């Protein structure tokens, strides 16, 4: 791999580290002290998190078009600036309305960084190495989760929840400055348009890929939402559940890179289908598990599959649409992911209330995962 390509990979990893790892997932660590400081309820704090997610979903197709027209680097740097400002503004929140607005803006910035960087990787890496490259940069979100969990509690306990957001803003500004030398395309770049950016919304393979992404969004969020509750309901300690969840985070770093490389070798469609089937099977085993051994096995299976799907789908978008239209394709497909995430928890929660446990909703998650693997083969 060339030196310039390595630098681009590092830049992409750092960008996702901020754009998703810190900007989205660090909220979990600050939520409780922020809730107490603003005197808000859990419904309001949950709504603030939803506003961040809506900002991400709504702006994903918009920034995809902008990146195609004006360049991925401009979108990434502009979106990073939005994240820096909105994280700082969040520290000044005085209630639900302004906190929700700032988190919405952060979600919009996250969309720009993620979609822009994925589009940039499509320009720098061809189909023989694109899966590996996207696996590497997507591991940045896992590193962000680890970093936030290791540092934010100390900052918050020492200086208050407001300081936690200021700290995140400062880290984001530092990364923004590091991304300034980022190059839009390699010196030997050859334009490639397989699907025009304005046609991605009616291109059948992308629509089918998007439908499979609905299944992933729903199944993934159901599993994440009820993971700890299901384990505890089966008589296992909360602390043990936390350790098992940490395994998912650690394995996800390796799985995204490993499956990315495998997809470069065997083909994107085959790899995505295999990961969907492994993930769906993991969720089904988890749904039926009642012993620590089975919970561990299903957790290992989930860690080796679940978070490898987004980079594989992103790489496939680049394969289908071509280097120049990759950002628009990714933004479009992300809408489908959002639909799955929106209806999944509600349906699963209804089933949990109806049955009194989490077996049925988790079995639904597993079934949807397997269905996604079947659908993606139709692309």
CA gap 195, 175 in Å, rounded: 33
Phi, psi of 236 (to 5 degrees): -100, 140
Q: What is the largest CA-CA distance in the chain?
A: 60
**Structure tokens given for 61:** 């197709």
- Residue 38: other Cβ atoms inside 10 A: 17
Residue with tokens 């996207």: 134
Helix, coil or strand: residue 194: coil
Q: What's the pLDDT at 377?
A: 94
Among residues 214, 210, 191, 192, the alpha carbon closest in space to that of 200 is found at: 210
**Structure tokens given for 181:** 């030398």
**Residue 103 Cα to chain centre, angstroms:** 16
Q: What's the pLDDT at 247?
A: 85
Q: What's the pLDDT at 356?
A: 86
Strands of the chain (E only): list them: none
**Structure tokens given for 162:** 């407001």
**Structure tokens given for 362:** 């988790």
Which 8-state DSSP code applies to residue 18? I
Q: What is the full per-residue pLDDT of the chain (379 aa) written as tens digits?
A: 788 899 999 999 999 999 998 998 888 788 889 989 999 888 898 788 888 888 988 999 999 999 988 999 999 999 999 999 999 999 999 999 999 999 999 999 999 999 999 889 989 998 889 999 999 998 898 888 888 888 888 899 999 999 999 999 999 999 999 999 999 988 888 888 898 888 899 999 999 999 999 999 999 888 887 888 888 889 988 778 878 887 887 888 889 899 999 999 999 999 999 999 999 999 999 999 999 999 999 999 999 999 899 999 999 998 999 888 888 999 899 889 888 887 887 788 888 888 888 899 999 999 999 999 999 999 8
In DSSP notation, 270-312 reads HHHHHHHHHHHHHHHHHHH--SHHHHHHHHHHHHTTGGGHHHH
Q: What's the pLDDT at 291?
A: 92
Ramachandran bin of 185, using left for φ above 0, alpha for ψ from -120 to 50, beta for the remaining angles: beta
- Residue 354: other Cβ atoms inside 10 A: 10
User: The pTM is what?
Assistant: 0.85
**Residue 63 Cα to chain centre, angstroms:** 16
Q: How far apart are the first and last CA of the chain?
A: 30
Name, in order, each residue with C-beta under 8 angstroms of 17's C-beta and a sequence gap of 6 or more.
140, 141, 143, 144, 147, 175
Whether residue 110 contacts residue 24, with contact meaning beta carbons closer than 8 Å, is answered with yes
Whether residue 337 contacts residue 217, with contact meaning beta carbons closer than 8 Å, is answered with yes
Which 8-state DSSP code applies to residue 377? T
Q: How many helices (H) and strands (E) does the chain have?
A: 14, 0
H/E segment holding residue 152: helix 130-159
Whether residue 287 contacts residue 365, with contact meaning beta carbons closer than 8 Å, is answered with yes
Whether residue 299 contacts residue 224, with contact meaning beta carbons closer than 8 Å, is answered with no
Whether residue 106 contacts residue 23, with contact meaning beta carbons closer than 8 Å, is answered with yes
CA gap 341, 255 in Å, rounded: 22
């Amino acid at each position: 791999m060339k030196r310039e390509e390595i630098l681009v990979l590092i830049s992409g990893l750092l960008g996702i580290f901020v754009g998703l790892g810190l900007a989205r997932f660090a909220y979990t660590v600050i939520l409780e002290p922020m809730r107490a400081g603003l005197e808000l309820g859990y419904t309001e704090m949950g709504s603030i998190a939803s506003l961040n997610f809506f900002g991400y979903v709504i702006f994903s197709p918009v920034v995809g078009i902008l990146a195609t027209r004006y360049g991925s680097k401009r979108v990434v740097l502009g979106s990073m600036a939005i994240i820096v400002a909105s994280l700082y503004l969040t520290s000044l929140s005085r209630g639900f309305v302004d906190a929700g607005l700032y988190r919405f803006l952060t979600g919009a910035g996250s969309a720009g960084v993620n979609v822009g960087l994925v589009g940039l990787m499509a320009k720098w890496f061809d189909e023989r190495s694109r899966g590996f490259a996207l696996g590497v940069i997507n591991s940045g979100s896992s590193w962000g989760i680890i970093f936030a969990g290791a540092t934010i509690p100390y900052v918050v306990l020492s200086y208050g929840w407001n300081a936690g957001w200021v700290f995140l803003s400062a880290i984001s500004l530092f990364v923004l400055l590091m991304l300034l030398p980022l190059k839009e395309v390699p010196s030997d770049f050859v334009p490639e348009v397989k699907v025009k950016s304005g046609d991605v919304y009616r291109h059948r393979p992308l629509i089918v890929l998007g439908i499979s992404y609905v299944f992933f969004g729903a199944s993934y969020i159901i599993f994440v939402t009820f993971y700890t509750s299901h384990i505890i309901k089966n008589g296992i300690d909360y602390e043990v559940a936390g350790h098992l969840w940490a395994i998912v985070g650690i394995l996800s770093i390796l799985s995204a890179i490993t499956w990315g490389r495998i997809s470069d070798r065997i083909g994107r469609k085959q790899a995505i289908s295999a990961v969907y089937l492994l993930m769906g099977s993991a969720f089904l085993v988890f749904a039926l598990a009642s012993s620590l051994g089975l919970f561990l096995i299903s957790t290992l299976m989930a860690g080796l599959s679940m978070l490898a799907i987004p980079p594989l789908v992103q790489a496939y978008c680049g394969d289908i649409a071509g280097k120049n239209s990759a950002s628009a394709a990714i933004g479009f497909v992300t809408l489908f992911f959002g639909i799955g995430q929106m209806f999944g928890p509600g349906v699963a929660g209804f089933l949990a209330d109806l049955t009194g446990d989490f077996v049925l909703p988790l079995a639904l998650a597993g079934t949807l995962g397997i269905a996604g693997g079947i659908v993606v083969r139709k692309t």
